[in-house]
Structure 1
Amino acid sequence: MGTLSYTTAVSLDGYIADANGDFQWAAPSAEIFRVHVDRMNAVSAEILGRRTYELMRYWESEPDDESWTADEREFAQRWSALDRIVASSTMASDDVGSPSVRLVPVLTLSAIEDVVRAAPGEVEIFGPTTASAAIRAGLVTDIRFFVVPVVIGGGLRALPDDARLNLRLQETRPFANGTVYLHYRTEATGRP
């Protein structure tokens, strides 16, 4: 049985994208990107929404100009090997580019629990909109934030406004560019 985690870059004021949807301020340095590559060792499946899946399709085929670094190639190989569950009511099965991608029209909490139960390792739920119901329900056991030293003043929040979580710090790590990695484990909140 696996565990469910949520990992994202986040501004100091708690957003993953600004009011215009821009998240370029969160682009990882080479040092941070290497952490993401290493982190993929524990991940066996990804749950994502349509927009995040479309963004991450970039990693499904290497550019012809060989412009990727060794770390980017390694990340792409690890990403492509993962089971990916894409939640979208607007995509058709023809829209997914890999046999390791499963399309589900509605992502229920029981479907998330089934994926986690069947996983041999960590299941990462990717994107705050896709993750919000699982966070609220207490299904997410690990939250990993790469806190970027920028305040953007509004946009897409990293956590749902009505989430109530008790967290226990597991790890911190500062990076040369001022970003700080925070890994928290959730504790029971007393909710049924």
Structure 2
Amino acid sequence: MGTLSYTATVSLDGYAADADGDFQWSAPNCDVFDFHVERMAEVSTEVLGRTTYGLMQYWETDPTEEVWSPAEQEFARRWRRIEKVIASSTLTEDDVKPGRDRLVPDLSLDELQRIVAGATGVVEIFGPTVAGPAIRAGLVEEFQFFVVPKVVGGGLRALPDDVRLDLTLTGHSIFDNGTAHLRYVPG
């Protein structure tokens, strides 16, 4: 049985994307990227929405030494080995790669619980829109936030407005660019 983890890169004021939908301000430097590479070793399944799935297709290409650093090559290898569950009512089966990638037009909480129960490692739910119902229902067992030292003033909130959580800090790191990694569990 897996565990459900919500991971988000957020601005200091709590947004995953700014008011224009831009999140380029959250791009990791080398140290943060290396941390993500190591973190991905625990992930067996990624649950994500249509937009994130499309953006992450970049990592599905064959890594080449001429274009990608060794860390990028390793991230791509790790990304390509995990199962992906795409929550989207607008994509079709033709839009997702057969095999490891599975389309779920309506990701119910029961379906998410089945995914977690059948996983062999961490099930990472990625993106505030996809994660919102699971957060509200209390299904998320771990929260990981990469807090970027930037205030964007509005946009897509990393956490739903209507949720109250008591969390316990279980780990933290500060990177040389000022990004803080904060790891919490409920309770």
TM-score by length of 2: 0.97
Cα RMSD of the aligned pairs, angstroms, is 1.2
| Cross-structure match for 2:104 | 104
Percent identity of paired positions between Structure 1 and Structure 2:
57
| Residues in 2 aligned to 1:137 and 1:7: alpha-carbon distance in whole angstroms | 17
Alignment-derived partner of residue 147 in structure 1: 147
Q: Does 1:185 align with 2:158?
A: no
Structure 1 residue 166 displacement after superposition: 1.1
1:93-138 CA distance string (max 9 Å, x none): 1111242100011000000000000111110001000000000100
- Shift, 1:167, TM fit: 0.3
Report runs of 4+ in structure 1 exceeding 4 Å deviation: none
Which residue of 2 is the match for residue 29 of structure 1? 29
The Cα of 1:65 is off from its aligned counterpart by: 8.1
- 1:181: Cα distance to partner? 0.6
CA distance in 2 between partners of 1:104 and 1:186 (Å): 27
- Report if the CA contact (8 A) 1:83-1:100 is conserved: yes
1:6-47 CA distances to partner (integer Å, 9 max, x unpaired)? Answer: 111100000011000111110000100000000011111000
Give 1:112-123 correspondences, 5 Å limit. 112-123=112-123
Q: Which moved more, 1:61-70 or 1:138-147?
A: 61-70
Name the residue aligned to 2:38. Answer: 38
Structure 2, unaligned runs of 5 or more: none
Q: Residue deviations 1:51-94, cap 9 Å, x none?
A: 11011111000367831111111111111100110011111111
The TM-score, its normalising length taken from structure 1, stands at: 0.95
Q: Distance in 1 between matches of 2:154 and 2:119?
A: 35
The answer to whether the 8 A contact 2:63-2:73 is kept is: no
Separation of aligned partners in 2, 1:147 and 1:84: 25
Report the Cα distance in structure 2 between the residues aligned to 1:79 and 1:126, rounded to whole angstroms. Answer: 13
Give the partner amino acid of 1:34: D
Spell out the pairing of 1:72-83 with structure 2 (5 A cutoff).
72-83=72-83
Q: Is the 8 A contact 2:10 2:16 kept in 1?
A: yes
Which consecutive residues of structure 1, in runs of 5 or more, have no partner in the other structure?
188-192
> Given the alignment of the two structures, is residue 7 of structure 1 paired with residue 7 of structure 2, yes or no?
yes
Q: Which residue of 1 aligns with 2:71?
A: 71
Residues 123-134 of structure 1 mapped to structure 2, 5 A cutoff: 123-134=123-134
